[in-house]
Structure 1
Amino acid sequence: MRFAVAGAGAVLLLAGCSSSSDSAPALSVGAAYIPQPVSDMAAGFLTISNKGGTQDELTSVTSAAGPVTVHETSGGTMSEVTSLPVPAHGQLVFKSGGNHLMFEKLERKPRQGEKVTVTLHFAESKALEVEIPVESATYVPKTGN
Structure 2
Amino acid sequence: MRRIPRRTAAALAAAVAAPLLLAGCGSSAAPELTVSGAFMPQPVSDMAAGFLTVENTGGAGDRLTSVTSGISDEVSIHRTEGGRMTEVASFDIPAEGSLDLERGGNHIMFMALKERPEEGDTVSVELHFEKSDPITVDVPVKAATHDPEH
| Range class of TM-score, shorter chain | 0.7 to 0.9
Q: Could you say which residue in structure 1 is the equivalent of 2:139? A: 132
1:49 aligns with 2:76: no
SS of the residue corresponding to residue 61 of structure 1 reads strand
Match of residue 103, structure 1, among 110, 115, 120: 110
2:95 partner amino acid: A
The number of residue pairs the alignment matches comes to 134
Question: CA RMSD, aligned part only?
Answer: 2.1
CA distance in 2 between partners of 1:13 and 1:82 (Å): 35
Report the identity percentage. 53
1:86 partner amino acid: I
Q: TM-score, length-normalised on structure 2?
A: 0.82
1:27 partner amino acid: L
Q: CA deviation at 1:16?
A: 4.7
CA distance in 2 between partners of 1:69 and 1:95 (Å): 15
Q: Of the two, which has the highest radius of gyration? A: 2
Q: Could you say which residue in structure 2 is the equivalent of 1:74? A: 81
Q: Could you say which residue in structure 1 is the equivalent of 2:45? A: 39
Cα-to-partner distance string for 1:11-39 (whole Å, 9 max, x where unaligned): 979845531xx120000100100000011
CA distance in 1 between partners of 2:24 and 2:81 (Å): 40
Q: Could you say which residue in structure 1 is the equivalent of 2:10? A: none
Q: Could you say which residue in structure 2 is the equivalent of 1:64? A: 70
Dislocated runs of 4+, deviation >2 Å: 11-18
